[in-house]
Amino acid sequence: MEEVFLLIRSSGQSSSSLMPKERTDMVEDGSSLTHGGEGHNLTSNLKNMTLAAKSGNSKDIKANSRAQYKPEKWMLPEKAEDSLTQLNLAIVGHVDSGKSTLSGRLLHLLGRISQKEMHKYEKESKLQGKGSFAYAWALDESAEERERGVTMTVAVTYLDSKRYHVVVLDSPGHKDFVPNMITGATQADAAILVIDASIGSFEAGMDGTKGQTREHAQLIRSFGVDQIIVGVNKMDAVEYSKDRFDLIKSQLGTFLRSCDFKDSSVIWIPLSAVENQNLVVAPSDVRLSWYHGPYLLDAIDSFQPSSRDFSKPLLMPICDVIKSSQGQVSACGKLEAGAVRSGSKVLVMPSADIAIVRSLERDSQTCSIARAGDNVAINLHGIDGNHVIAGGVLCHPDFPVAFAKHLELKVLVLDGATPILMGSQLEFYAHHAKEAARVARISSLLDSKTGKVTKKAPRCIVAKQSAVIELVLQEPVCIEMFSKCKALGRVFLRTLGRTVAVGVVTRIVEELV
């Protein structure tokens, strides 16, 4: 297990679903693996497109070596440009652990939600008999989310700490919406794993078959996140018991170590979002006098900043597409590498069309330049809006991303997963692309510690085993080898509502050109 988690570790590569949640696609287990809504159905859009190499209508997209690339001066940030570094922070955890309430409370305490807005949420939630959900309503904006009392899509908000401009990704915890959690939080820089301290609730989250605490912890580690805060929430429900906190820390800590989290990179914080204890100041309740560590906002500032690939060619996986009534189209996502500014030419994959950047928007504000690590909406012109799709990628015109359907992967089968056989039908996830897939070959089993081949051509792979497999997708996707681009080389395999394996792309068997 450690070998594969080490292989898929990234020091700061990050991208995420970063648009207001009403614009975020929703994919439920058991449903089609395509996005709903105009411009979001990856499979049908691909069938209506022809790559430039076949049509001759666009620029020749033959890939160049990235070693040939030399960034222009404007692409590299000035040291004094911004006093705050950006941090992409995923909020994850089992359903009903209080993730949205925690996020909403932080936003209110830090002035991102006004007292007037908060009063409105309190009034509306009480009218529906859900008074305790007032802070969650600041992020759970859809009528269905408020009615059901669960987060269904990834809500994206912003707050500032002393050290960071924090992009908060409030992820769904319900098992039906884990694909949305993957889409939204795939490459966060750091995470808060929220735990419900209530008797029975922590245990439910740790349940091997139904709990999301284990799955979320495994997923964020495989995203490359190695810095986390474990926020043990709802401590008020257990009278701020140190014994309860220590029990949770002992049991969950053992599991986190098995996922290759280092003890030194995990911060444990007892807190209560509802009673505002240990969030932005030290706790005032005397029942927490036994705790002497940092409060939550302080702990966020203790994270190490992520490195950014400013000097590499532009690369931005498209998480969402927004079309206006005036015919304008914007590609939304996070720059994994390089930089872009108004007037820049970009290659839109997989259609291989060249588009011009009309304008850029970051944190709801117009900006002139966006660089690696920034979450932006890029307004494009000179391109058919139907050729800009979620799951696609914006690239430098001379450095296109690969487009393929036959891949070799190195995978780790997760604890409790059903065996994977040759011919198994799986759901394939990589960055913001989702596709049906079939296991075409199981090449070898690997020793989890050394990575060496222990058996060739095994019949199946079972829980906790590492292996090299070949996967054939139903339709091609934009993808890269992990060694070339970590963000586009991580993959997640799911079936029957569960994540069964995590891994990386080691070879593109057949690239479409």
**Quick count: other Cβ atoms within 10 Å of Cβ 290?**
12
At residue 46, the pLDDT reads 42
Q: Are residues 270 and 343 in the same domain?
A: no
Domain containing residue 169: 85-301
Q: Are residues 100 and 120 in the same domain?
A: yes
Q: Are residues 217 and 315 in the same domain?
A: no
Q: Are residues 279 and 319 in the same domain?
A: no
Residue 43 lies in a domain: no
Q: Are residues 378 and 347 in the same domain?
A: yes
**Quick count: other Cβ atoms within 10 Å of Cβ 472?**
16
At residue 136, the pLDDT reads 54
pTM of the shown model = 0.76
Please say if the pLDDT value at position 33 is more than 80. Answer: no
Residues found in the chain: 513
Q: Are residues 297 and 334 in the same domain?
A: no
Of the listed ranges 98-102, 129-133, 353-357, 507-511, the one predicted with least confidence: 129-133
The secondary structure of 98-151 as a DSSP string is SHHHHHHHHHHHTTSS-HHHHHHHHHHHHHTT-GGGTTGGGT--SHHHHHHTS-
Where does residue 365 rank: exposed (0-12), middle (13-18), buried (19+ CB within 10 A)? exposed
Choose between 18 and 472: higher pLDDT: 472
Please say if the pLDDT value at position 174 is more than 70. Answer: no
Residue 166 lies in a domain: yes
Q: Which of 378, 395, 412 is the last residue of a domain?
A: 395
Please say if the pLDDT value at position 140 is more than 80. Answer: no
Q: Are residues 266 and 378 in the same domain?
A: no
Q: Is the peptide bond before 350 cis (omega within 30 degrees of 0)?
A: yes
- Please choose, from the candidates 278, 338, 267, the residue with its C-alpha nearest in 3D space to the C-alpha of residue 304: 267
* Greatest Cα pair distance in the chain: 72
Q: Are residues 241 and 111 in the same domain?
A: yes
Q: Which of 380, 395, 410 is the last residue of a domain?
A: 395
Residue 18 lies in a domain: no
Residue 13 lies in a domain: no
For residues 435-440, give the mean pLDDT: 96
Residue 37 lies in a domain: no
Residue 103 lies in a domain: yes
Residue 317 lies in a domain: yes
Where does residue 311 rank: exposed (0-12), middle (13-18), buried (19+ CB within 10 A)? middle
Please say if the pLDDT value at position 419 is more than 90. Answer: yes
Mean pLDDT (the chain) is 79
Cα separation, 497 vs 502, whole angstroms:
15
Q: Are residues 253 and 346 in the same domain?
A: no
Cα separation, 189 vs 169, whole angstroms:
11
Q: Are residues 236 and 342 in the same domain?
A: no
Token pair in block for residue 499: 């994540």
Contacts of 9 (CB under 8 A, 6+ apart): 224, 226, 260
Q: Are residues 371 and 407 in the same domain?
A: no
At residue 168, the pLDDT reads 83
Q: Any idea what the CATH number is for the domain that residue 425 is in?
A: 2.40.30.10
Q: Which of 301, 331, 354 is the last residue of a domain?
A: 301
At residue 351, the pLDDT reads 94
Please say if the pLDDT value at position 217 is more than 80. Answer: yes
* Count of domains for the chain: 3
Q: Which residues pair with 356 in a beta bridge?
A: 345, 381
The secondary structure of 390-453 as a DSSP string is TT-EEEBTTBPPEEEEEEEEEEEEPTTPPPEETT-EEEEEETTEEEEEEEEEEEEEE-TTT--E
Please say if the pLDDT value at position 436 is more than 50. Answer: yes
Residues above pLDDT 90, as percent of the chain: 45
Please say if the pLDDT value at position 38 is more than 90. Answer: no
Q: Are residues 337 and 450 in the same domain?
A: no
Q: Any idea what the CATH number is for the domain that residue 224 is in?
A: 3.40.50.300
